[in-house]
Structure formats: structure tokens, C-alpha cells
Amino acid sequence: MTCHSDYVTFNLSNDIIINGGKQMKKWVCEVCGYIYDPEFGDPDGGVEPGTAFEDIPEDWVCPDCGVTKDNFSPLD
């Protein structure tokens, strides 16, 4: 199933979001289990919805436990 919005198209079967032709996956924090979902971003952390994990600033930290991006892995 594919859904569309003004800025994001996402495929519900494999959690890949396509924004401007870029595939964006969800990422999970290996420390606390927080899931970064590019559909929602992290507005409280300064990350707009539709932002791929790879495009998040290097100084961003997990909003739940405070670890760095190095502690995240792609969600399968």
C-alpha cells in the first residue's frame, strides 16, 4: 500500500519513505529502542519532518537517552 501527502510518499509494507526521489528508512537507537521516523522528524530536536537520517546534523542526539547518531542502526 502506498500513501501520499504534500511532501512525502511512503510505502507501508517496508517502512521506506520517498521524498524527492530519496529513499529514507527508519532508524532505531541501539541503547533505548527509540525509532527515528523521517516522516515525523524530531521537531523538538530541530529536525523537520521529511528529513532523512543521513541528513540530520552530526551533533543531534537521541531525544530519549541522549546518545549520538553512531548508536543508531537502520530498522529492517
* pTM of this structure: 0.73
Rounded CA separation 27/19 (Å): 16
Q: What is the pLDDT of residue 13?
A: 46
- Cβ atoms of 19 and 7 within 8 Å: the answer is yes
Q: What digits encode the pLDDT tens for the residues 54-73?
A: 999 999 999 999 999 999 99
What's the CA gap between 16 and 27, in Å, rounded? 11
pLDDT in tens, 1-45: 445 444 444 455 445 556 566 678 999 999 999 999 999 999 999
| Residue 16 contacts residue 7 (beta carbons within 8 Å) | no
Is residue 73 packed enough to be buried (19+ CB in 10 Å), middle (13-18) or exposed (0-12)? Answer: exposed
